[in-house]
Amino acid sequence: MQPPDTESRRRRLHRASPRLKLLVTLLFIIPTALLPRHPDLLYLIPAGILILVWPFTRMPLSHALRRLWVVEVFILGIALLALVSPEAVPIFFATLFKSNLCVFAMLLLTWTTPFQDILQELRRWRFPSVMLTTLALMYRYLPVLREESRRMSRARASRTFRRRRLAAWQDLSLIIGQLFVRSADRAERIYLAMCARGWK
Amino acid sequence: MHLPDGFLDAKTALLSSGVAAAGVTVALRQVRASLEPRQMPMLGLGAAFVFVAQMLNFPIAGGTSGHLLGGVLAAILLGPGAAVLVMTCVLIVQCLMFADGGLVSLGANVFNMGVVNVCGGYFVFKLARTFIRMEHHRAAVFAAAFAGWFGMVLAAAVCAGELALSQTVPWAYAFPAMVNTHMLIGIGEGLATGLILLAVLRARPELVVNSLQSGRALRGRDVLYGVLLCLGLALFVAPFTCSWPDGLESIGQRLGLPAKTVVAPLSGYRFPFLESAAGTTAVAGAIGTVVAFIAAYILARAVVPVLGTSKKDATSRH
Amino acid sequence: MSTAVEVRQLSYRYPQNGRLALDELSFSVAEDECIGVLGPNGAGKSTLLLHLNGLLPEHAPAAPNLWIAGEPILSRNLDLIRQRVGLLFQDPDDQLISATVFEDVAFGPRQLGVEGAILKSLVAHCLAQVGLSGFEERQPHRLSHGEKRRVCLAGVLACKPSVLVLDEPTSDLDPRGRREFKALLQSLPGAKIIATHDLELVVDLCSRVLVLDDGKLVAEGPTVKLLSNEPLMLAHGLEKPHSLLHRHPHGPIAGEPENGGTDI
């Protein structure tokens, strides 16, 4: 399931100012991430805030769980290292909890704020123009390149009769290499198309 | 290596964000000065390319799969400045669109994967190219494979430093854990980087920005990246490396059991003169570097035919 | 009728390998005329099209070979030429670079200084012209191939060109998309130059045809006459279109409809 884009602005929070949402998220995450290492009743405050806000965003639990699962690997991996300190176990859980709260807050942000709006906000904050152009073009061509890589993978798979790991690495490398070549060619054509409409 | 929020303390987050911002500024300046308008769309497409490449599954063992990071690959294909910007944009999109990687730790992630990985790998790539006498494409693949591995390990070391500085994980534990795991993961990264570069060289060698013909010495502006790299190492790695001998043996013994579960086999060796786990890792790291170097060399020889035969089997375009 | 496009002895060599891509091409296109450019792959059709709005050669020559409405294409007036000549690229994904349809159609006029309410109404007008009213907020990657093509055309029309140059406009379109696009092209005024493999499109839209092969202009003349010349067509990697198979080159056979049986 994809987060909504500019086309689906029915929900209230989705229509709220992106600047507000970004700032609120930042103001939430910074103190939460920097909460004291030891578990504390303080932890309940950010948790409570998230639980209160969540229904308004209409973010489905399945989406949240799926994304949290991906990040959990990193969180657990590093949190396990924290087990070395004397008060290991409570700190482990505290770090786990804090981290997941922050991820959840980011999920709420990304669910309610289309990336284009975030880009607009960054533009207002005088983000460097080279980066803004790069981000915009990247956002535009991600699906195009993803589809190209899928097509190449499928074409390759339809002629793969014996699955061998090393061969898979070679095939993948060929596909990625080819993807780069095609991207470079496309970038050249994009440049021409932009010039054709007066870009300097 | 994407650090989520909650593992770095305020000072580390600020410090790493600061160096990250410095690195990105240097890259911006270089790109603005040297990139022609014709090459501008390639930044955006390059970023999309890296993002999509990171999504592909490289099979490892028994159902697990690994993913390319692509920082060193980007540096070789697009140049270091462009690669820094490209990786930064990839990380920004991953954070702000997919909630992968924390917002507060975005600075640290950008520094580790966007500056250290890219610049460190690029440096090593150029050095390796300068000092190794090998046929053209072979040298490139060898250097790319080794640089891919090295960049990964370097970034892991700095990441460990950041965790230690935040006092989330003690250095004596963070360093071996991060570096050892990434010495293994780095093998995949190096292998993939080398193979992908080979694929591009065979198809369209003129697309590779990095001047492969001359194993020329590093240029002036490349030094600036080196400075930033050293700064990062000085901030996040050096403070800990100096304190190895002090009182880590007791911690080392307490770590004995859990340490072995995450530490690679090589570090299991106890050298009589280096008691601490961190010290052992450093030696293992040195050995690992030599092994990776040799492995990359063998890879290049095996995978890249000599120029004469490669012309015959080169695929024709269209 | 004045000349919309004039080409005199245009030659071009590829910078990578020095191969001659265009060899002393000369032709002209009148105002409101629609001509087709045919030829096998690699004949130089796309290269020619890129010359028509100054994108090639990379460095403008000292003496001009191309004139648009009497204005020579030189390095100093490239901006003017690019506004006068609207170029539609073969792959709409190369042209549709912005995040929304509105932003993309507005791209050209913005370069020309159009802003605000005027810009909004211009974009709306152009989208209506291509049959995509209300598509302003749509995202490019959610559009069908035909819709993307039409957005690109709207973006080109927004610059108010006097000459339209189209590179394979009906490739990859399904039959309905192709019919709709053809009807759209028929409704647009001004000179049109269409490079295509779609021979039936050429029969329906173009009064004159140029045949390119290996960079040379090997034939030029009225559409039906030239396309009925089967030996000529086959010699240059083409063929006689089906709609002309039973048609006399100098006019319809008694009892056959004017268009040779093709639908609207």
d(CA C35, CA C37): 7
Q: Is residue B243 part of a domain?
A: no
Q: Is residue A3 part of a domain?
A: no
Q: Is residue A4 part of a domain?
A: no
Angle at the Cα of C59 from the Cα atoms of C56 and C60, rounded to 5 degrees: 80
Domain end call among A74, A98, A120: A120
CB pair distance less than 8 Å for B98 and A137 = no
Q: What is the tally of structural domains in chain A?
A: 2
Helix %, strand %, coil % of chain A (to 5): 80, 0, 20
Q: What is the mean pLDDT of chain C?
A: 87
Q: Identify the closest residue of chain A to B205 by CA–CA distance.
A: A181
Q: Is residue A7 part of a domain?
A: no
Shared domain for A17 and A108, answered yes or no, is yes
Domain end call among A120, A155, A180: A120
Residue pair A29/A102 in contact by the 8 Å Cβ criterion:
yes
Quote the tokens at residue B81. 């400045």
What is the per-residue pLDDT for B172?
A: 80
Q: How many CB atoms lie within 10 A of CB C23?
A: 16
What is the per-residue pLDDT for B68?
A: 94
Residue pair A14/A117 in contact by the 8 Å Cβ criterion:
no
Residue C106 β-bridge partners: none
Structural domain of A137: 128-196
Q: Is A109 on the interface with B (CB under 8 A)?
A: yes
Question: Has residue B57 got a pLDDT over 80?
Answer: yes
Q: Is the pLDDT higher at A150 or at B311?
A: A150
Q: Is residue A6 part of a domain?
A: no
Shared domain for A114 and A137, answered yes or no, is no
Shared domain for A116 and A132, answered yes or no, is no
Task: Quote the percentage of chain B above a pLDDT of 70.
Answer: 78
Shared domain for A182 and A90, answered yes or no, is no
Residue C159 with chain A: CB contacts under 8 Å: 197-198
Q: What is the tally of structural domains in chain B?
A: 1
The residue among A49, A27, A45 whose CA lies nearest residue A36 is A45
Give me the CATH number covering residue B99: 1.10.1760.20
CB pair distance less than 8 Å for A198 and C50 = no
Q: What is the model's pTM?
A: 0.82
Shared domain for A22 and A62, answered yes or no, is yes
Structural domain of B229: 10-236+257-303
Instruction: Write the class of the CATH domain C3-244.
Output: alpha beta
Residue B99 is nearest to which of A98, A107, A188, comparing CB atoms?
A107
Residue pair B12/B174 in contact by the 8 Å Cβ criterion:
no
Question: Has residue B153 got a pLDDT over 80?
Answer: yes
pLDDT tens-digit profile of B216-233?
A: 445 666 677 777 777 777
d(CA B209, CA B200): 11
pLDDT tens-digit profile of B162-201?
A: 988 888 888 888 888 888 889 999 999 999 999 999 999 9
HSE-up of A175 (CA within 13 Å, CB side)? Answer: 26
Residue A140 with chain C: CB contacts under 8 Å: 96-99, 140-141
Q: Identify the closest residue of chain C to A189 by CA–CA distance.
A: C94
Shared domain for A105 and A138, answered yes or no, is no
Angle at the Cα of C119 from the Cα atoms of C115 and C125, rounded to 5 degrees: 170
Domain end call among A120, A145, A173: A120
Residue spans per domain, chain C: 3-244
CA–centroid distance for A130 within its chain: 21
Element (DSSP H or E) covering residue C164: strand C163-167
Quote the tokens at residue C32. 């409101």
CB pair distance less than 8 Å for C97 and A193 = yes
CB pair distance less than 8 Å for A197 and C100 = no
What is the per-residue pLDDT for C55?
A: 86
The residue among C186, C177, C237, C181 whose CA lies nearest residue C207 is C186
Q: Is residue A133 part of a domain?
A: yes
Residue A198 is nearest to which of C50, C82, C137, comparing CB atoms?
C82
CA distance B50 to chain A (A): 9
d(CA C248, CA C262): 16
Please give the ipTM for the structure prediction. 0.89
Q: Is C15 on the interface with A (CB under 8 A)?
A: no
Q: Is the pLDDT higher at B258 or at B8?
A: B8
CB pair distance less than 8 Å for B10 and A172 = no
What is the per-residue pLDDT for C249?
A: 62
The residue among B249, B166, B243 whose CA lies nearest residue A82 is B166
pLDDT tens-digit profile of B61-71?
A: 877 888 999 99
Residue pair A193/B38 in contact by the 8 Å Cβ criterion:
no
Residue C13 β-bridge partners: C20
Q: Is the pLDDT higher at B206 or at C52?
A: C52
pLDDT tens-digit profile of C12-71?
A: 988 878 888 999 999 999 999 999 999 998 888 999 999 998 888 877 777 888 999 888
Q: How many CB atoms lie within 10 A of CB B147?
A: 33
pLDDT tens-digit profile of B269-285?
A: 343 334 456 666 667 77
CA separation (Å) from C220 to C149, C211, C212? 29, 6, 9
CB pair distance less than 8 Å for B49 and A179 = yes
